[in-house]
Structure formats: structure tokens, C-alpha cells
Structure 1
Amino acid sequence: MEIAENAALVVIDVQQGFEEVEYWGVRNNPEADDNIAALIDAWQASGRPVVFTRHDSTTPGSPLRPGYEGNGFKEYVERRRGKGAAGSELVVVKSVNSAFYGTPDLGAWLKAAGIGQLVVAGIQTNMCAETTSRMAGNLGYEVFFALDATYTFGQEGPWGWELSAQELARATAVSLHGGGFAKVVTTEEVVKAASV
């Protein structure tokens, strides 16, 4: 794996509201937050750009709704914001799954910076992180999906079908990797490649 000198780390929706277990249910991957922090640290140490997205939910009662404390970034992300090289950080606010449909325009920012490679991490694995990765792949970016730097929650679908958080994460990994949208990798692999 080769990580470009200007590869962007896209940190999806690492917000306090995802800590509200009674709303979301059981999550997988308790190591995800440490891995997300490690990726941010590696990117900032190397001077590479970091994009933070924030989901402003339009769903009434959502822990991610604007004006509610859950809308804010988790403490470890907030503490790291602004610590990178000058001009190397962007905050995108969105109300849909894809970071490419937010403000400011992520695609325009990446294009202006000549960035063609993205590393995606954050919450939720099978929602905004997956959607952003799929769209990035379709737009021609080389995408690395740091699976162990994401997490999600179990869900019920049609006909009473239920999948656990881990089953959904595995489905995302198979879909992204098998479908050619992204290369699914580990945090350790990415950090090692970015440090070379």
C-alpha cells in the first residue's frame, strides 16, 4: 500500500450523540475510537490534510440534531482539531449520508488541492462511512477504508431480518472491497504506510 503525500483522511461523523446507547443500541468494535485518534495523529504529524464531517440530523429527537450537545464532536476529536498544518483541515457539515453532499463542497476542495487518494474512517461503518466511500470510488478517487477505525450498530431490516453490528460491518467490508469501491485495510497498515 502506498499513501500519497497529499492523501486526505476523511473522518466521518465522530460525534458525541453516538454514545447514546439507548437510542442506537449495541455497537461493535470498541477499539474504533483509539484507531480513529491514531489515524488523525499520523495524518497531522505528516502534514497531510484531514477532513472532519459532522452530521446535522433532520430527524426529530436524533442525538445528532443541531443545537443538541450530541451534535458536537467527541472530545478526542475536538482536542485534535486545528493541530495540523496550516490550511490542511476542512470541516464539512451535512444532513445526508455522503460527505460529498455537504458544505463546503468536499469534491471542489479535494480537486483544488489535487487530492486523488482518500482514507475513510468514522461512524457509522455501513451508513455515512460506506456511502462516502462508494461515492468517492465512483468519482474516481483511490479509497482506503480503515475498517477497524469505524463502528456501527445492529439494525432491523425488511421482513424482520436483523443483523448485528459486526455482521453489518462485515457486509460493508465485502461490498466495498468486492465491488471495487475501496480497498479495505486496517489502521495499522495505513499508519505504517503513511509513515514511510
Structure 2
Amino acid sequence: MEIAENAALVVVDVQKGFEESRFWGPRNNPGADENIASLIDVWQRTGRPVVFVRHDSVSERSPLRPGQQGNDLKDYVRERRGKGAGRELLVAKTVNSAFYGTPDLDAWLKEAGISQIVLTGIQTNLCVETTARMGGNLGYDVVVAYDATHTFDLAGPFGWRRTADELGQASAVSLHGDGFARVVLTKEVVDAAR
């Protein structure tokens, strides 16, 4: 695997509100935070650009809404902001895709001549997947560090319910199998980025 010298790491919605298990329910991949931190560290150490994305929910019930502690980035992410030698951006959004946030992520990437993005964060099947699909549609070389993402169990129509593991795997298969992104493990990305 090749990671470009200017590949942007896009850290999607790693916010305190996702720690409220009573709101979200059971989650998968308890090692995601450690993997997210390792990706940020290698990006900062190598001077590559890092994009931090924050979901500013418009739902009054959501722990991610502005003005609530849950809207804040998790401590380990907040503490790493501004520590790298590369460019950095904070994107705030109210929908799933980081490409529909402020400031304009696509414009920022194009201005910097960045054609490869590596995605990590929360939730695998929602904001990470939507950002990956849109990135692929916009022509970026998209890499998803699967074990540096996580999601939660979810109920759907017809009484269907899927576990976080099932949802994460379905996202990985759809993204990778349909060519929107290469879905890989954190170790592969870290080794290639060093």
C-alpha cells in the first residue's frame, strides 16, 4: 500500500457524546480509539495534513449538539490538535458527509493538491461511510482504516436489527467491493505512512 506524502487523514466525529452508551447502545471495536490515536500520531510525526471533523447535531435529543459537553472532541483528539508539522483543518457539519461541512473540505483538499484521504472515526456505517462514498464520487483515492472506526447496534424497518459488528462489516464490504474505498487495517496504513 502507498500512502502519499500529502495524504490527508480525516478524523470523523471522534466526540465525547459517542461515549454515552445509554443513548447509542452497544458498540463494536473497543480498540478503535487507540488506533485513531496512532493514526493521528503518525500523520503529525510525518508532517501530513490532518482534518478533524465535528458533528454539530441539530437534533435536540442528540448528545452531539452544540453547547453540550458531548459535542466536544474526545480528550485524546483535542490534546493532539495543533501538535503536528502539517496543515490542519477543523470542519463542522450537521449532516453525515464531511464534504458538506464548513469550511468546504473539497475546496481545501483541492487547493492543497491532495488527492488521497485516509478516513477514521465514528460511525463506520454512517458518517465515515458517507464521507468515503462522497470522496470516491469526487475522485479521491479513499482509504478507510476499518479498525480505527466503530459503530453501534441499530434497529431498522420490518423489525430488523443489526449488531454493530454486522453493520461495520456491511459498510466495509460495500465500500471496498463497490470501489468507493480501499478498506484496510490501521497497521497497514501506519506501516505505509512511516
Normalising by the smaller structure, the TM-score range is: over 0.9
| Residue 30 (structure 1) aligned with residue 30 (structure 2) | yes
Could you tell me how far apart the structure 1 residues matched to 2:142 and 2:62 are? 30
Alignment root-mean-square deviation, CA:
0.5
Tell me by how many angstroms 1:182 deviates: 0.1
Could you tell me how far apart the structure 2 residues matched to 1:194 and 1:19 are? 29
| Residue 155 (structure 1) aligned with residue 150 (structure 2) | no
Tell me by how many angstroms 1:163 deviates: 0.3
**Where does structure 2 lack aligned partners over 5 or more consecutive residues?**
none
Size of the aligned set, in residue pairs, is 194
For residue 76 of structure 1, give the secondary structure of its aligned residue in structure 2: helix
Tell me by how many angstroms 1:85 deviates: 1.5
Could you tell me how far apart the structure 1 residues matched to 2:177 and 2:2 are? 20
What letter is aligned with 1:25? Answer: G
Could you tell me how far apart the structure 1 residues matched to 2:119 and 2:4 are? 14
Tell me by how many angstroms 1:84 deviates: 1.0
Could you tell me how far apart the structure 2 residues matched to 1:20 and 1:165 are? 15
The equivalent residue for 2:138 is 139
Instruction: State the 4+ residue runs in structure 1 displaced beyond 4 angstroms.
Output: none
The equivalent residue for 2:124 is 125
**Where does structure 1 lack aligned partners over 5 or more consecutive residues?**
none
The equivalent residue for 1:64 is 64
Please give the per-residue CA displacement for 1:71-121, whole angstroms capped at 9, x wherever unaligned: 0000000010000115x1000000000000000000000000000000000
For residue 26 of structure 2, give the secondary structure of its aligned residue in structure 1: coil
For residue 28 of structure 2, give the secondary structure of its aligned residue in structure 1: coil
What letter is aligned with 1:126? Answer: N
Q: Sequence identity of aligned pairs in percent?
A: 69
Could you tell me how far apart the structure 2 residues matched to 1:162 and 1:61 are? 22
The equivalent residue for 1:104 is 103
What letter is aligned with 1:158? Answer: P
Could you tell me how far apart the structure 2 residues matched to 1:34 and 1:55 are? 21
Could you tell me how far apart the structure 2 residues matched to 1:182 and 1:25 are? 28
